Structure formats: structure tokens, C-alpha cells
Amino acid sequence: MSFATRLADAVRRTRSVTCVGLDPRKASLPAPLRDAVSQDRPEEWAAAYTQFCCEIIDVVGDLVPCVKPQAAFFEQLGPAGMISLGEVVAYARSKNLLVILDGKRNDIGSTATAYADAYLGAESPWGSDSLTVSPYLGRDSIEPFVDVCDQRDAGIFVLVKTSNPGGGLLQNRQTDGQTVFQCVAELLTELNSSRQNAEGYGPLGAVVGATYPQELAEMRAAMPHSWILIPGFGAQGGAAEDVKVGFHEGGMGAVVNSSRHIIFAHARPEYADKFGDARWHDAVRAATEQMNAQLDLVK
Ligand SMILES: O=c1ccn([C@@H]2O[C@H](COP(=O)(O)O)[C@@H](O)[C@H]2O)c(=O)[nH]1
């Protein structure tokens, strides 16, 4: 079954469009996990990251369709972190959650093939359902990922309009009367057009930030066959009102990511007193339920 179909099914089953971002950070881990690290060694932190992320997966598994591990935080720990990333990916998939691995990979075509194998391959320790991909090496760099999507029913989310304040420096540049991000959207629509499932979605999704609602609305219209991954909700300031334009009728076509506001909810002022570090699992669940409710009202 295609990635787009599996994602739609997961959204319908969970009645949620929330994607929980798994971005473990040493300093922000709840005290019980931080304190269990007796020596400041990568292996110990990696074990704490695995435990933290797997327990989050247990807490949110029935509430959301997907999770998004951020590769950077695991890579930061070296080889032990990469083992942890593989464990987290495998655990999430074993719990029926779709995994969008946030690696923002790409390179020349022959190297892109290796990236596609590493992060979407069935035999790879990091084999995920979907991967974030950079478009800036051009069409021939995206095609190897599309080939793997075709062969293995995987998906990719290509960076179109990112949530960070500085993204416009390149993405908003005009070329031939179009912005660069509009060019990327056009390419995705072309590549998806012969690959749609029964609901009209193809394997090439797009990343568009919640922090740019006007562009999100424009991109929703420009890429009718793409699922959109919307980061920037919560900690970066994006709100439910901002992301509603990212959805198609019926609440399909987009998932909204929140990382810090969910996984470190125990430290947010509204949850700290009630739950604190000791009840961090309850804080994660409460924050996820709150986000589900907020998005349910607008999608
Ligand atoms: O445009 C983008 C693309 C990716 N991200 C990633 O999403 C999460 C956001 O984390 P929060 O804690 O919810 O801010 C993080 O992994 C980013 O690397 C993004 O923010 N914007």
C-alpha cells in the first residue's frame, strides 16, 4: 500500500493530524531520565534517548498517526546515537506509527540513491516510511528517492517553504517570475501527477512551515497531490488558525508537527505545576490531546 494511502488511513484511524517530533536533547530530558545517566558518555545518553523516545511512543501511540525523529539529535551522539535512532525507528513502526525521518538528505543522483537506501530501505537499520529531502541539487537528485518510493511504497517530504525566519533568503528568490519555492512545488506536482493513489495523493510530500500561513495556503493550492508536513507549530509560534489552510476538505492532506511543546511538555508553564518532571508521561499525553483538540477545531 502506498505511503500516501497508509498516512491517510492512519489519520482516519486515529482521527488525528498531529505528528509528534522526537527531538531528544540532553538538557531538556525529564529529571528521572537525566539523573539516571551516571557518566557523561554518549552510550549512556543514547540509552536515555532510546528510553525517552520509546516511552513517548507508548504514551502517544493511540493518539497520533505518525512520529518524526530528528536525525540531528541522534547523530550528535556519534555511533551510539545512530544505534539509538535505529531502535526508535523500529520501535515506532512496531507500534503501528508511521515514521517520517527528518534528515533533510540529498546529494548528486548516485549518492542520493545511497541516502534513499539508508533511510527508506527495507533492510536498513534506519529504514523509515518517509524521509525529508532537500531539493537544492535539482530534479536528478530527487528522482532516486522517487524510484525507491515507487519500489518500496515509501514517501518523501521535500523542503518547499521552511518554517525558519531566514529561509526566504533563498526560497523567496524570484526566478523567471516565480519564487524558488514555487518552482519546487511545480516540480513536485509534476512528479506526483503520474503516481496518484485513489484519493489523488502521490509519494512526494512537501514541507511548508506553520509560520508562513499565506504561503501555506498558496502551496496547498499549488500541490494538490502532495501531503504537506507542517512544522513550526507551538514552540516556533505557529497556531491552529495558521495551519488550517494546509488541509483539504475533510481534514486530509496535511500533518502538523510539534516537537518541543509535546515531548518536553513537563517544563511548559501550563503543565509544570500539575505534572512536573516526575509525571512527564502525563504531560506528554495532555499536550498531545490538547494539540489534537486544537487541530480538530480548525481542520
Ligand atoms: O521547516 C522546517 C523543517 C523542519 N523542522 C524540524 O521540525 C522540528 C520542529 O521542532 P519544534 O520543537 O516543534 O520547533 C525540528 O526537528 C526541526 O528541525 C522545522 O522546524 N522547520
Nearest of 230, 254, 264, 237 to residue 73 by alpha carbon? 264
Which sequence positions are flagged as catalytic?
Answer: 104
| Ligand 1 contact via 23 beta carbon (within 6 Å) | yes
Q: How far apart are CA 18 and CA 59, in angstroms?
A: 14
Does the structure show a pLDDT above 70 at 226?
yes
What is the share, in percent, of the chain residues with pLDDT greater than 90?
98
The Å distance, Cα 145 to ligand 1 centre, comes to 21
Domain with 37 in it: 3-294
- N- to C-terminal Cα distance for the chain? 25
Whether 93 maps to a domain, the answer reads: yes
Closest CA to 121 of 101, 107, 135, 95: 101
Determine what percent of the chain is predicted with pLDDT higher than 70: 100
Is 278 within the bounds of a domain? yes
Instruction: State whether ipTM is beyond 0.90.
Output: yes
Looking at ligand 1, which atom is closest to the CA of residue 162?
A: 1
Mean pLDDT of 79-95: 98
Per-residue model confidence as pLDDT tens digits over 192-214 = 999 999 999 999 999 999 999 99
Is residue 299 very low, low, confident or very high in pLDDT (cuts 50, 70, 90)? Answer: low
**Mean pLDDT, residues 49-77:** 98
| Averaged pLDDT, 105-109 | 97
Residue 299 domain-assigned? no
Q: Kindly state whether residue 261 falls inside one of the protein's structural domains.
A: yes
Which residue has the CA at smallest separation from atom 19 of ligand 1? 231
118 pLDDT above the threshold of 90: yes
Cα(185) to centroid(ligand 1), Å: 20
Indicate whether 298 pLDDT > 90: no
How far apart are the C-alpha atoms of 181 and 132, rounded to whole Å?
15
> What is the tally of structural domains in the chain?
1
pLDDT class of 297 with cuts at 50, 70, 90: confident
CA–CA separation, 267 and 125 (whole Å): 32
> Is 169 among the domain residues?
yes
Task: Give a yes or no: residue 62 inside a domain.
Answer: yes
Q: Is the pLDDT of residue 119 over 70?
A: yes
Exposure on the CB side of residue 193, measured as CA atoms within 13 A: 7
Is 189 inside any structural domain?
Answer: yes
Q: 102 pLDDT band (50/70/90 cuts)?
A: very high
Average pLDDT of every residue of the chain: 97
CATH code of the domain covering residue 167 = 3.20.20.70
63 inside domain:
yes
| Closest ligand 1 atom number to CA of residue 234 | 13
Query: Residues 96-120: what's their mean pLDDT?
Result: 98
Task: Look at residue 158 in the predicted model and tell me its pLDDT.
Answer: 99
Instruction: List 238's β-bridge partners, or say none.
Output: 233
Supply φ then ψ for residue 7, to 5 degrees: -70, -45
